[in-house]
């Protein structure tokens, strides 16, 4: 798989994760905060979808950072183990 193919796949994963959250968002938006609560099923679904969203976002972030690193656009230490924070 080339770098561009990996980027495209990573972007698809991030978009799919957001699309799945959008469906649940409509149901949560419809809940009257004074009359009812979010269903257990929606909470369980949100738990798994937010994890999928976080994983997709982190994978995309890691790929973009490695591409920038390869191009010399970010310092080596900002990618390896420092979380981008330099002391």
Tell me the per-residue pLDDT of 7-54, one tens digit each, with 9 for 90 and over: 999 999 999 988 999 889 999 999 999 988 999 999 999 999 999 999
Residues whose CB is less than 8 angstroms from the CB of residue 69 and which lie 6 or more positions away in sequence, other chains included: 76, 79
Neighbour tally for 10: CB within 10 Å = 19
The domain ranges of the chain are 3-79
Contact predicate 56/16, CB 8 Å = yes
What pTM value is reported for the model? 0.69
Residues whose CB is less than 8 angstroms from the CB of residue 53 and which lie 6 or more positions away in sequence, other chains included: 14, 17, 18, 20, 21
Q: Quick one: average pLDDT of 51-60? A: 92
């Amino acid at each position: 798989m080339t770098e561009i193919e990996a980027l495209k796949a990573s972007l698809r994963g991030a978009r799919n994760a957001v699309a799945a959250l959008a469906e649940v968002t409509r149901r949560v938006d419809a809940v009257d905060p004074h009359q009812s609560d979010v269903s257990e099923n929606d909470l369980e679904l949100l738990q798994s979808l937010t994890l999928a969203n976080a994983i997709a976002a982190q994978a995309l972030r890691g790929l973009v950072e490695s591409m920038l690193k390869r191009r010399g656009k970010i310092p080596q230490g900002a990618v390896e183990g420092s979380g981008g924070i330099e002391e």
